[in-house]
DNA sequence: CTGCGTGCAAACTGTTTGCATACGC
DNA sequence: GCGTATGCAAACAGTTTGCACGCAG
C-alpha cells in the first residue's frame, strides 16, 4: 500500500497544488501520530523545527480533511480535534470527562444500526460519530478516593 | 407529572437561586419548542418580548444544561445547539449536510452497545452522542436533479 | 515566470467574564 | 437589606481571511 505521504503528494499533484516544506512537515508529523490532536498541538510540535504559522496549520488541516486523509472531531471542548484515518478502520470514542483521555472502540453493531436507519429514512450517509462521555477507570478510582476522604 | 417549568422553579428554590423574568421567558420558550436551537435563536426570539441580553441567554442555557433540563449538542457547525430533554426518551440524530435539517431516531441496539463497552472497559458512562451525517431524502432529490441538468 | 502558499495581523464567531446596577426573596 | 441576576462592554479562544511577498513547478 502506498504510504500516506505518497497519497497526499499524489492528491496535491493531481489538483495542481504544491508540496511545500510546511505541508511536508505537517503531514509527516500527523502520519506518525496515532492519536487525537488539536491544531495547536501540531503548531507547538512543529514551530521550532520548521518555519510555520498557525494560519498554515489550519489551512493544511482543512486540506487534509477535505481529502479524507484525516478526520475532524468535535468533542465539545470548544476546539476541533483531528485524527489520521487513511486506510484505517473506522471506530468510536470514549471520552473521559475528568482527564480528557480518548479511548477508541469498534462495534459491528453500530455499522448495522447506521445501515438500517439509512434504509428506513432514505438517508444517504457520509459519516457518523459515536462518542461516549464519562469517567475512565483511573478517574473513577480518583473520585472514589476523594469520596472516602470526606 | 410536574411541568418542566415547575421542575425548573423547584431546582432554583432548592439552590437558593432566583426565578427572574428573563429565566421565566427563556424557560417557557424552550419548553414549548420541540426542536434544536442555538443560543442566538433563543435571543432573537425573546429580545423583542422581554428585556434580555445575550449574556443572560448563555448563562441561563448553561444553568439548564447543568440541571439536565436541556441537552447541549455539537454538530460541528461551530456553535452549540440545545434541545429540551426533561422526561423525554434519549435519541440520536441524523444531520443533513445540505439543508441542515436534524431528524431524530431511536435505537435499542445503541443502548446495548453502550452498556457493553462500558462493562468491557470499566468506563462509567454519563452520556453519549450518536450523530449520523449525510443527505436527507429531499436533498438527495435536489442533488439528482442538478446532476441531470449538467 | 506564473500562480499557489505562506506569514502576519486583523477580523470574525461564538461564548464567557468583570463590574456596577437592579431586583427576587 | 442581602446576595443573586442582569446588562453592557470588554475579553477570550479558536479559527479564518486579506494582503504583500516567497517559492514550487
- Domains of chain A, first to last: 2-84 (1.10.10.10), 92-149 (3.30.1490.190)
Decide if B65 touches A, using CB distance below 8 A: no
Q: Are A86 and A4 in contact (CB under 8 A)?
A: yes
CA–CA separation, A107 and A92 (whole Å): 8
Please report the pLDDT score of residue B90 as a whole number.
87
Q: Are A133 and A101 in contact (CB under 8 A)?
A: no
Which residues on B lie below 8 Å from A135 (Cβ)? 123-124, 126
Does position B73 have pLDDT exceeding 80, yes or no? yes
Mean pLDDT of B54-77: 96
Least confident of A136-150, B73-87, B111-125: A136-150
Please report the pLDDT score of residue B142 as a whole number.
76
Please report the pLDDT score of residue B148 as a whole number.
61
Please report the pLDDT score of residue A148 as a whole number.
62
What is this structure's pTM? 0.89
Phi, psi of B72 (to 5 degrees): -100, 135
Q: Are B12 and B18 in contact (CB under 8 A)?
A: yes
Mean pLDDT of B105-126: 95
Overall residue count recorded for chain B in this entry: 150
Please report the pLDDT score of residue B141 as a whole number.
84
CA–CA separation, B78 and A18 (whole Å): 29
Does position B82 have pLDDT exceeding 90, yes or no? yes
Please report the pLDDT score of residue A103 as a whole number.
94
Residues of chain A with pLDDT below 50 are: none
A-to-B residue pairs, Cβ atoms closer than 8 angstroms:
106
Please report the pLDDT score of residue A25 as a whole number.
98
Closest CA to A26 of A47, A2, A3: A47
Please report the pLDDT score of residue B76 as a whole number.
87
Amino acid at each position: 500500500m502506498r504510504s500516506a505521504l505518497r497519497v497526499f503528494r499524489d492528491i496535491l499533484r493531481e489538483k495542481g497544488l504544491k508540496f511545500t516544506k510546511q505541508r511536508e512537515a505537517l503531514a509527516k508529523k500527523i502520519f506518525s501520530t496515532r492519536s487525537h490532536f488539536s491544531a495547536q498541538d501540531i503548531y507547538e510540535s512543529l514551530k521550532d523545527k520548521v518555519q510555520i504559522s498557525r494560519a498554515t496549520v489550519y489551512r493544511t488541516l482543512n486540506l487534509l480533511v477535505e481529502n479524507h486523509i484525516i478526520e475532524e472531531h468535535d468533542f465539545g471542548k470548544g476546539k476541533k480535534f483531528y485524527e489520521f484515518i487513511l486506510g484505517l478502520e473506522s471506530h468510536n470514542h470514549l471520552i473521559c470527562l475528568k482527564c480528557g483521555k480518548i479511548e477508541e472502540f469498534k462495534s459491528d453493531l453500530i455499522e448495522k444500526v447506521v445501515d438500517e436507519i439509512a434504509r428506513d429514512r432514505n438517508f444517504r450517509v457520509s459519516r457518523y460519530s459515536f462518542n461516549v462521555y464519562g469517567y475512565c477507570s483511573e478517574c473513577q478510582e480518583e473520585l472514589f478516593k476523594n469520596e472516602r476522604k470526606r
